[in-house]
Amino acid sequence: MTAITVGLGGLAGWRVLQRMEARQVEATAKDPVVQRAAAYFRDNLSTKTTTDALVGDYKMLQVALGAFGLDTDIANKAFIRKVLDSDLGDRASLANRLGDKRYLKFAEAFKNIGNAAATGQAITDAYVQRQFEKRVGEGNESYRLALNARNEMKAFAARTSSDKTMWYEVLGNKALRTVFEGALGMNSSIANLPIDRQLEMFVSASERVLGSSSFSEIGTIEKIDKLVTRYLALSQIQTNTTSTRYSAALSLLSQR
């Protein structure tokens, strides 16, 4: 995998990345490896694609999971099978119980494929975007998380779920939660608190920092930009502080 780098860090690098994003996504889509994987998926997806067929085909499953950012689960076929076979109408089923709702979206996508061509294109488009984000992450993990948060938040703003439901999704999505914690100045140790208490703290911090805890408002372009830029700015400060302390420690050691 070829890393995508911008030659700058922090907010300056983020602005450069935004300007080059469309061109780099297109370049990622044209990468022979990505292109072959996407074409194979589209060619082999049909309205009759079963759980067995999907889980049993490594190349199909790689694209399917990759589209939802679930690549690391590819070896856990028994788990993936249970997710896909979940009764989505039953709130107690596995896909509905999991805190990370990417699994639910994954199951929904393959429960009723409908138009195979349209579904195949949507899945491969998402796969290409995720591949782009992974390549950005090879150069700067904070930028990958920022891209993911931006796209997730745009999707949240268009949904009709309750704010409480979507906040629980934020808490269960490690990548998105990392950005919120960073932007809101929260310590990751709060994950040890009861989930309802965590929710209260995130909602309160969002109202204080972003001016609202409603996704219809914090999902606007302006608020998403504020969330992401705060995350990147505070991450850069933390990185610089750590680096300075490390350099100071090395300096002290060298004087002995």
Q: Mean pLDDT across the chain, nearest whole number?
A: 90
Q: Report helix, strand or coil for 99.
A: coil
Average of pLDDT values for 166-189? 93
Burial of 179 (0-12, 13-18, 19+ CB in 10 A): buried
Asked if residue 231 lies in contact with residue 179, where contact means CB atoms within 8 angstroms, the answer is yes
Share of the chain above pLDDT 70, in %: 93
Average of pLDDT values for 186-204? 94
Is residue 2 predicted with pLDDT exceeding 60?
yes
pLDDT digits (tens, 9 = 90+) for 25-70: 999 999 999 999 999 999 999 988 999 999 999 999 999 999 999 9
CA distance 54 to 245: 50
Instruction: Compute and round to an integer the Cα radius of gyration of the chain.
Output: 20
pLDDT of 241 reads 52
Q: Where residue 114 falls among pLDDT bands split at 50, 70, 90?
A: confident
Select the highest-mean-pLDDT range: 5-19, 189-203, 230-244: 189-203
Alpha-helical (H) ranges within the chain are: 10-30, 32-44, 51-55, 58-67, 77-84, 94-97, 102-111, 116-139, 141-157, 163-172, 174-183, 195-209, 215-218, 221-254
**pTM for the whole thing?**
0.85
Which DSSP helix (H) or strand (E) runs through 40? Answer: helix 32-44
Is residue 78 predicted with pLDDT exceeding 50?
yes
Average of pLDDT values for 155-177? 91
